[in-house]
Amino acid sequence: MKVIELHRSVTASNDADAEALRAELKKKGTLLINLMSSPGSGKTTLLSRTIQDLKAELKIAVLEADIESAVDAERIEALGARAIQVHTDGMCHMDAGMTREGLEAMGLEEIDLAFLENVGNLICPAEYDTGAGRNVMILSVPEGDDKPLKYPLMFQKSDALVITKMDALDYFGFDLEQCRKRAKHLNPDIEIFPVSAKSGQGMNEWEEWLKKETAAWKE
């Protein structure tokens, strides 16, 4: 397993770096999706099931960002998808320069859809444009339906919200409608996908959206 040690980018403008990376990815026809969430929300499990379901149709790669370890990248690689682990030198987010470095080390030849599994937390990743074409937030049922009230920026920055672990809805008294309302209040355009990577519930709608966005990116 390839592990790359990254350091904070030293360029003056992360926003300019992000715009440049996005333009290059557009030219290549690779849609990069930045996945943001709390630790343990189910990102790697969701990605694993998504890769298994879509790998016959799309070439998928995953850039796994963590502070330590390579366990997530190993889980993805075991499915036969291209994956690389990057370490963020203790930093709580990925910036555009770090994302570029990770993607270059991984290689994007023939990749239709690349995911960046960002560092797990709901604050810093929302503040840094990574150069991704789409931002997706993952919120798991055990975290509660009040998260839009506490971490509004991430909901505002995201094109889609995946609500994971729907199989556990009843145990946690999660109010899906209330959560939907709160998220839409912050961001009327946000697409919402309630899913369970365990039972498979809702996976089809999420995967259809990924296919549609990947095709639109190539136009």
Query: What residues does 16 pair with on adjacent strands?
Result: none
Using rule CB under 6 A, residue 163 touches ligand GTP: no
Can residue 72 be called a binding residue for Mg ion (CB under 5 A)?
yes
The one among 44, 50, 88, 135 contacting ligand GTP by CB under 6 A: 44
Please choose, out of 5-13, 37-45, 107-115, 170-178, the segment that lies near ligand GTP by the rule CB under 6 A: 37-45
As a whole number of angstroms, the distance between CA 145 and CA 163 comes to: 10
In the complex with ligand GTP, which residue's Cβ is closer, 49 or 157?
49
- Given a contact cutoff of 8 angstroms between Cβ atoms, the answer to whether 29 and 212 are in contact is no
Is 102 a binding residue for ligand GTP by CB under 6 A? The answer is no
Q: Which of 92, 168, 176, 192 binds ligand GTP (CB under 6 A)?
A: 168
Query: Is 45 an interacting residue with respect to ligand GTP (CB under 6 A)?
Result: yes
Question: Which positions ≥6 away from 38 have C-beta within 8 Å?
Answer: 120, 121, 122, 139, 140, 143
The first and second tokens of residue 67, run together, are 């502070």
Q: Which of 9, 14, 164, 187 binds ligand GTP (CB under 6 A)?
A: 164
In the complex with Mg ion, the residue whose CB is nearer, 186 or 210, is 210
- Residues 6-65 touching Mg ion, rule: CB under 5 A, are 43-44
- Residue 159 touches Mg ion, criterion: CB under 5 A: no
Q: What angle do CA 14, 137, 197 make, to 5 degrees?
A: 140
Using the rule CB under 6 A, which residue among 19, 24, 167, 191 binds ligand GTP?
Answer: 167
Find how far residue 71's CA is from the centre of its chain: 17
Measure the CA–CA gap between 37 and 44, rounded to whole angstroms. 11
Residues 6+ apart with CB under 8 A from 198: 45, 165, 167
Nearer to ligand GTP, 99 or 196 (CB): 196
Is the CB of residue 107 less than 8 Å from the CB of residue 82? yes
User: 3-class DSSP state for residue 205?
Assistant: helix
How far is the C-alpha of 181 from the C-alpha of 198, rounded, in Å? 25
Residue 43 binding ligand GTP, by CB under 6 A:
yes
Smallest separation (angstroms) from Mg ion to the CB of 64: 7
**Contact call for residue 77 and Mg ion (CB under 5 A):** no
93 lies in the binding site for ligand GTP (CB under 6 A): no
Residues that bind ligand GTP (CB under 6 A): 37, 39-45, 72, 120, 164-165, 167-168, 196-198
Residues that bind Mg ion (CB under 5 A): 43-44, 72
